Amino acid sequence: MDVEAVRPGTADVGVIIREARPADYDEIRETLISCGAFTEEEVRVALEILDIGVLGGLGGDYPVFAAELQGAVRGYVCVGSTPLTTTTWHLFWICVHPAAQRRGVGRALQEYAEVFVRSRGGERLVLETSGKASYDRARKFYQAAGYSEVGRIRDFYRHGDDCVMYCKTFPGVPA
């Protein structure tokens, strides 16, 4: 089901969040590359997971949602139930095209993912991101959305690049 989410500051432009489709691949690929946050290998892995997610649909391992803004896919989010847990989910990827950043697309995707996870019995959403300075904006984005830093593994991705883990437990769920 498509959902229109009009974000603050974009009252004239609606962000439409919907299940990702195979036809979205090129626009999502371009978004991953142009945002400048990911290495070539990270883009390759993101696209592999995108393929699995789109083929598996909403009941698969990696549900994927696309954000349309003015008729173009300008972002996406990928989540999945965490293996060996009953109510924990992971946010694997969220990315917004530079042309759509600071227009509410990322927040609309994040909020939509949370609603989806809760609709599937999820009680918390966990994510991992880089500790590099170039990811400061991403970490602030998650903190502003109510995610708390719950761990850090030094030099996880490579020397000087920590893995920073965040978690959000949904209201009404014991922390």
Determine the Cα–Cα distance for residues 49 and 25; give it in Å rounded to an integer: 11
Q: What is the pLDDT of residues 71-86, one digit of tens each?
A: 999 999 999 999 999 9
- Residue 175's pLDDT is 57
State pTM to two decimals: 0.89
Q: Are 83 and 96 in contact (CB under 8 A)?
A: no
- 84: containing domain: 3-124
Structural domain includes residue 150:
no
Q: Which among 111, 148, 90, 162 has a CA at the least distance from the CA of 3?
A: 111
Structural domain includes residue 136:
no
- Residue 173's pLDDT is 64
Structural domain includes residue 84:
yes
Distance of alpha carbon 125 from its chain centroid, rounded? 11
Structural domain includes residue 17:
yes
Structural domain includes residue 164:
no
- Residue 13's pLDDT is 55
> How many domains, the chain?
1
Structural domain includes residue 138:
no
pLDDT, block means (10 residues), the chain with 175 residues: 43 78 97 92 96 96 96 96 96 95 93 96 96 93 97 96 97 69
| DSSP-based three-state secondary structure for 19 | strand
Determine the residue type at 72: A
CATH number, domain containing residue 97: 3.40.630.30
- Residue 14's pLDDT is 85
- Residue 155's pLDDT is 97
Structural domain includes residue 157:
no
| DSSP-based three-state secondary structure for 35 | coil
Structural domain includes residue 132:
no
Q: Are 167 and 147 in contact (CB under 8 A)?
A: yes
| 163 DSSP β-pair partners | 130, 153
